[in-house]
Amino acid sequence: AKEVMEYEMSTPKNDYWWWADGLYMVMPVMTKLYKVTGNQQYLDKLYEYFTYAKNFMYDEESTLFYRDGKYIYPKHKTNQGLKDFWARGNGWVFAGLAKVLQDLPEDDTHRAEYIEIYKAMAESLAAAQQEEGYWTRSLLDPAQAPGRETSGTAFFTYGYLWGVNNGLLDKTTYEPVINRGWKYLTEIALQPSGKVGYVQPIGERADQHKNVGPETTADFGVGAFLLAASEMVKYLNDK
């Protein structure tokens, strides 16, 4: 990991993260490697790369992230003409920011900006949660890809739990969001067999798959479920 990251950081390129998933895949690696090495370049390049990604994927009005450059409004719209924000894509970013803030030094120059975006996303995502506790695959247009979806929901639930557990999100405000998300994950997504269902398969857009059901699962969905559970344990222990 050090060899790869040190090579990347030695180049003048800053456009490595051109899709939402990439932020989760690498941002926490850079903060963890900073903790291991003490090399300030990891934090400097983290901000440089994040700024590049944010400048074209982050929608200031909706405070959500487009999956990549192909899905930016108005070039791309839902069938109803709305902005199309993919749930799992935003799940990767929301969870990634939580993991970064976990390891980022308190006195980091850019910490306040990461927190600002994390909190703005939390507010927008809360408004998009469905009554049953899940988030639809197209966050602001449920009709674009209706029905339950677990991977985005699990990442969001993790992000909210981490924020409350670490004092960045207000418990009174977000406890109902957490409870609805956890109820969905444990009573609907989790099947009697132990399988975690309703996980949208590998893809890149909200309406890519038509039959996401109780038997539809994937490793990353199970991982997101366990990530949420790891924070739920801490949440319950703090009550």
DSSP symbols for 173-195: HHHHHHHHHHHHIIIIIB-TTS-
* Residues taking part in catalysis: 21
d(CA 217, CA 210): 14
State which H helix or E strand residue 65 sits in: strand 64-65
Residue 92, Cβ neighbours under 10 Å: how many? 26
Cα angle 44-45-51, degrees, rounded to a multiple of 5 = 95
Asked if omega into 74 is within 30° of 0 (cis), the reply is: yes
State which H helix or E strand residue 58 sits in: strand 58-59
Question: In the block, which residue shows the tokens 């899709």?
Answer: 19
Given a contact cutoff of 8 angstroms between Cβ atoms, the answer to whether 136 and 142 are in contact is yes
Nearest-CA neighbor of 216 among 148, 134, 152? Answer: 148
Phi and psi, residue 216, nearest 5°: -85, 115
What's the token pair of residue 18? Answer: 């051109």
d(CA 69, CA 71): 6
